[in-house]
Amino acid sequence: MKKWVYILLFWSFASIAQESDIQFRLLRQEDQLSTLKDKEEKNPYEKLKWIPLGENNRLSLGGSYRFQSEAFINEEFSSEVDQDDIWFLNRFQFHSHLRIADTFEFFAELNSSLITSKANLAPVDRDELSFNQLFARYHFDENWNVLVGRQNMRLGSGRLIDIREGPNVRLSFDMAQLQYQNEKTEITTFYAVPVIVGQGVFDNDALDFQESVAALYWTQHWKPNSSTDIHVIYKEEEAKTWDSGTADDNRLSLGLRHFGRWKKLTYNNEFVFQTGSFGDQNIRAWTASFNIEHPISILGTNSAIGLKTEAISGDTSGTDGTLNTFDGLYPRGAYFGRVARIGPSNLFDIHPYFDTSVGRFNFELDYVAFWRFSRQDGVYGPPLNLQYPSINEERFIGHQIGTITAFELNKFITLEFETNLIFPGGFLKESGLDDTLFHAVFTAEFKF
């Protein structure tokens, strides 16, 4: 009951501030507040977002609260496993953003991610209190800047490095970053160490050099509707486990992404090749991803149909001295929906979908068919952990049908209900996992 009281209070607050022109972003340091600069009469909420500190300095405060209720039936494709009926997740975030002239900025974001009623916790379920982000950025001029500290990151479409928004705890990196950008070009280079979540109060492990990543990422906007990403990413990880065993994994990813629009067709295509070493084996892995979408009109609604398909390499032999398993690095935590059962390694999938908007409502329907790319490799979860080892010769993993129904009360409050059904295919059935999985999650989020 208290949760609904909070939501109603947030709704009342949001109604007062609704006239504001502020635009929220997924990364809150990128919120658009420029319309407040020359606005003489600010309401109480706008005064919170733009606090002048002298002539050229300002402070902005903000945050969010996200409540989720999540449930599984046959979470591991087996009715014989103990069932957790339903659990509740709460995530609070509060940030302050200080800007000194156009030269220096300091951003701090506290996070508290809590969960109740779930027996077996994953590392992404709980982090009682921590700094999700804490960094300083210095702007040499309007093009160049350097950042040092803790930050969430999303590169490109988030296929290789993402902030992990789906789960309760986001992914943070302790890092040093140099960035250049103008109207058509964005170049980012960095060295980063992922933060290991401790689940308690300020107990996350910082600068644990058992795992690190360095990258050069270049985005070029050639035309208004045609852009490319070119990237080089080097990742080192100690004691990584694939289906073929456990060893130190050091790999270089070379990638090209082309995205934009052609006439009415929106496209987003990407290819990545990986090389390096896994213990005493060489790495030769790759992925190709294609996504096209076309708008349609149904009874006057804004709708679209699309198709995604991916081929992601898996290991072809455990004795040839070469590892072919693709490493998705730090992908979205909800790679194929928040059901989060299958991740981007050793996979071939076909993913048609339909999306429509009616007023403040948005509805999505999608279907995914999954196959193992290689019969000699297992099936991995979104965090690239080995979920289901290769113990049979079946290739087909299963069918997944998902829906998302979202309602935007206003720019501050959104409600969403997602459902997923996964019907096991031959590989899961031959592994003794033959029960249909059902998943549902309700999300209410308030931003300010």
Q: How far is CA 84 from the centre of its chain?
A: 25
Where residue 35 falls among pLDDT bands split at 50, 70, 90? confident
Q: What is the mean pLDDT of residues 245-256?
A: 97
The pLDDT of 218-234, averaged and rounded, is 96
CATH number for position 160: 2.40.160.100
Q: What is the pLDDT of residue 84?
A: 64
> For 78-92, 110-124, 302-316, 399-413, which range has the lowest pLDDT when averaged over its residues?
78-92
**Closest C-alpha to 447, from 420, 412, 397:** 412
pLDDT per position as a tens digit, 254-288? 999 999 999 999 999 999 999 999 999 999 999 99
Considering the chain, what percentage of its residues have pLDDT values greater than 70? 94
CA–CA dist 359, 157 (Å, integer): 27
Average pLDDT estimate for 306-334 = 92
pLDDT band at 334 (very low <50, low <70, confident <90, very high): confident
How far apart (Å, rounded) are the C-alpha atoms in residues 194 and 172? 6
- How many domains would you assign to the chain? 1
Average pLDDT over residues 292-296: 94
Residue 20 above 80 pLDDT?
A: no
Structural domain boundaries enclosing 49: 2-447
The predicted structure's pLDDT at residue 319: 86
The pLDDT tens digits of the residues spanning 411-439 come to 899 999 999 999 999 999 999 999 999 99
